[in-house]
Copies of this chain bind each other. A is one copy, B any other.
């Protein structure tokens, strides 16, 4: 008798969790925008195709940030033109401003995401704007997008810590989040951009949104694994009632503003936990891990996802 491959965890549900989680896959955008090299558009298209084959229903595809800032995604139009769209799969794109919205509309996009900072300092560093100027920029983007029938997601960066300001007041995050919802965002994604959060912080912030009257069904969480905390924070979020989780296939991604920031929560590590907990998600783990292993080969470095390495190493 030889050791058999361990491909799936035992399924033992735990109380207090959502029945189903929506995985918002950000690998093609948040992942690849932080790679030092530029990936060929054909590889990106195959990546998105394989992610859809693996059962992911939301694939954040690219970004219309100016190519000067994110040359890795300068092929956004070409990518969207080549995309083999599937029924039931959504392909949101990041849009920073009206020029980006014009490009997204011209490319036939149906779902956009705008991204704001929770802190003044990061707004200044990332967008060269004050928070008020940030919202003045968002207002026509969200307004026109809604008028065109597009769905709009709002990202909030640096929700749990900021490399310049240090700790971030949850009340400040709730205030920024509410302003994004007031602009017409259907959903907020709360980002731990530098990966410093721990579960108590997560619970306090989510309680702050609940107290402010925001249904946690409209909240997604977006953790980076810089300090190895992403999955624990996700577990804490699920127990609070969150049911949308951002992650990136193979743990691709990072944050160029914090040099040590490693990738996003790996989708495979999340899927392993959800499979064990009996929470539905629709993803075929083996197909996903094979896709991430293939992508790691394209990038010429091993996947940071522990599940990918264990299943495909």
Residues of A within 8 A of B (CB): 1-4, 6, 9-10, 12-14, 121, 160-161, 163-164, 166-168, 194-201, 203-204, 225-229, 231-232, 234-236, 257-258, 260-262, 266, 268-269, 272-273, 275-278, 305-307, 309-311, 313
Contacts and interface: CB of A to CB of B under 8 A. Distances in A.
A149 B199 CA distance: 41
Nearest to A166: B4
A234 B305 CA distance: 19
A291 to B, nearest CB: 17
A53 B191 CA distance: 36
- From A6, A195, A226, name the one whose CB has the most chain B CB atoms within 10 angstroms: A6
Contacts of A163: 3-4, 6
B9 A197 contact: yes
B4 A229 contact: no
A227 B274 CA distance: 12
A261 B232 CA distance: 20
A196 B11 CA distance: 11
Contacts of A167: 10
Contacts of A10: 160-161, 166-168, 196, 198, 201
